[in-house]
């Protein structure tokens, strides 16, 4: 098969796979099995003399109409969405042995993460007294185990293991060798940005051999959103449980709070990341259905808030307050808007024509773009008045990166609405842009401390 034919076939299969991923009743494992079957059919047809394009069309046709297939899955597994919430799966969800092994590995790694976060105590480092050390190394207590889970699950080779280990070792070195001023801006920035940089490494192993493909990166975006929702749900449940346990032990005269703050909270928070990841992998389609609903609910609200805010700025003529806390809150708002955009893009069928929700999305993006420009102006004013500091330069860089992302997203989205571009280009732009955030995070972690003399 010629290279151009192979690339064309892979692009068509990517499009077909993305279509199936968006079907609510079809699991990722089902899609993988269907894809294997599709590839076998294509190979047989190509061997029989068909061109790759013809072979793909015939193979898809033989597999039946995809919407009908989705409905069939939904009918046959009508109770699946609820059954998936049960820890022990049904027989229909696959071989029990494989699922049990998956759970054992995930919970074993969760236990390892819980132990890892307490290991520094053996060397005299206490959570309450050495906050800076724990903040800088927090991601290193958890993410290597999460990456290890996907290395095992995707059965990645020694080459991947080597560069992954090198990345985490390098991160550990930069987090600990610099003479940070305790509580200084450089230390706080390193603690905030190191997880962002390492999340890229997790994404690469999550995608396995598909990181260079847009669909692989888009799957990681979906995984990240679902992981966040699962983690929040686990945290809320844990908070309620902890509150009741404190009350119960206090009722019998036992002070349980020191145990909870020193052991249960840090160990539980670290282990919950692995448990949430396992849940996302094992219970796909449950929260995936919830996340697009939440996105559709909050996108119009955020768009309305930004529109009212910008209208008020125009009406009153007041700019954004240049106080640091206000600018940080503003940046968090813009990151949240970007998250809504990313997840909306990941949940949308690129083949669907433009609709009313797309117009709302454009309003949201343009509103965020204008708000970002106001924030940039305020940051520049603060730098002009007070000079350069690690926080201001980091905020300036992040806002410039956000501005570029939002500006080109707005252009691509408007082209799509006007029928002059495809939605796939916007999707590709978002997935291609992901490494930019990680690269900036690396710069903040590696370059900023010596640049600003570790203050």
Q: What is the pLDDT of residues 439-450, one digit of tens each?
A: 999 999 999 999
**Rounded CA gap, 385 and 377, in Å?**
12
CB atoms within 10 A of CB 171: 25
Token pair of 369 as six digits: 């773009």
- What digits encode the pLDDT tens for the residues 24-68? 556 666 777 777 777 887 887 787 777 777 777 777 766 655 555
DSSP states of 224-289: HHHHHHHHHHHHHHHHHHHHHHHHHHHHTT---HHHIIIIIHHHHHHHHHHHHHHHHHHTTTHHHH
pLDDT value at 324 more than 80? no
- Cβ atoms of 349 and 19 within 8 Å: the answer is yes
Question: Of 55, 122, 170, 126, whose CA–CA distance to 446 is shortest?
Answer: 170
Token pair of 142 as six digits: 């958890």
Residues 6+ apart with CB under 8 A from 29: 94, 284
- What digits encode the pLDDT tens for the residues 415-431? 999 888 888 888 889 88
**Rounded CA gap, 75 and 331, in Å?**
45
For the chain, what is the mean pLDDT? 82
**Rounded CA gap, 133 and 120, in Å?**
10
**Rounded CA gap, 7 and 308, in Å?**
47
- What digits encode the pLDDT tens for the residues 244-298? 888 888 878 788 888 888 888 999 999 999 999 998 887 665 555 566 777 778 8
- What digits encode the pLDDT tens for the residues 117-160? 999 998 888 888 889 999 999 999 999 999 999 999 888 888 88
pLDDT value at 413 more than 80? yes
Q: Is the pTM of this model over 0.85?
A: no
Which residue would you say has higher pLDDT here, 357 or 73? 357
Q: Is 413 exposed, middle or buried (0-12, 13-18, 19+ CB in 10 A)?
A: buried
């Amino acid at each position: 098969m010629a290279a151009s034919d192979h690339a064309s076939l892979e692009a068509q299969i990517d499009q077909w796979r993305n279509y199936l991923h968006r079907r609510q009743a079809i699991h990722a494992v089902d899609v993988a099995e269907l894809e294997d079957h599709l590839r076998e059919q294509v190979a047989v047809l190509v061997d029989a003399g068909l061109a790759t394009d013809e072979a793909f069309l015939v193979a898809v046709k033989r597999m039946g109409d995809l919407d009908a297939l989705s409905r069939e899955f939904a009918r046959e597994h009508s109770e699946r969405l609820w059954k998936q919430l049960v820890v022990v799966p049904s027989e229909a969800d696959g071989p029990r042995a494989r699922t049990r092994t998956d759970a054992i590995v995930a919970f074993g790694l969760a236990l390892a993460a819980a132990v890892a976060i307490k290991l520094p105590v053996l060397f005299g480092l206490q959570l309450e007294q050495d906050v800076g050390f724990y903040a800088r190394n927090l991601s290193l207590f958890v993410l290597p185990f999460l990456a290890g889970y996907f290395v095992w699950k995707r059965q990645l080779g020694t080459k991947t293991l080597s560069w992954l280990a090198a990345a985490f070792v390098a991160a550990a070195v930069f987090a600990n060798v610099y003479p940070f001023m305790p509580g200084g801006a450089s230390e706080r920035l390193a603690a905030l940005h190191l997880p962002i940089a390492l999340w890229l490494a997790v994404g690469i192993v999550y995608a396995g051999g598909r990181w260079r493909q847009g669909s692989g990166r888009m799957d990681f975006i979906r995984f990240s959103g679902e992981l966040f929702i699962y983690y929040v749900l686990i945290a809320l449940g844990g908070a309620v449980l902890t509150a009741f346990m404190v009350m119960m032990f206090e009722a019998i005269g036992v002070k349980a709070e020191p145990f909870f703050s020193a052991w249960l909270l840090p160990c539980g928070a670290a282990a919950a990341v692995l448990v949430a990841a396992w849940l996302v992998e094992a219970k796909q389609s449950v929260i995936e259905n919830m996340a697009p609903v939440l996105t559709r609910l909050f996108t119009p609200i955020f768009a309305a808030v930004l529109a009212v805010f910008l209208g008020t700025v125009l009406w009153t003529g007041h700019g954004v307050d240049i106080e640091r806390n206000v600018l940080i809150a503003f940046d968090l708002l813009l990151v949240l808007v970007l998250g809504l955009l990313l997840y909306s893009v990941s949940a949308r069928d690129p083949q669907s024509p433009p609709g009313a929700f797309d117009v709302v999305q454009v309003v949201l993006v343009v509103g965020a773009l204008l708000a970002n420009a106001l924030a940039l102006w305020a940051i520049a004013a603060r730098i002009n008045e007070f000079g350069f500091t690690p926080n201001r330069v980091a905020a300036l860089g992040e806002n410039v990166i956000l501005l570029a992302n939002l500006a080109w997203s707005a252009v691509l989205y408007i082209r799509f609405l006007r029928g002059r571009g495809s939605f796939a280009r916007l999707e590709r732009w978002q997935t291609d842009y992901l490494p930019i955030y990680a690269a900036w995070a690396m710069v903040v972690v590696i370059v900023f401390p010596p640049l600003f003399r570790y203050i």
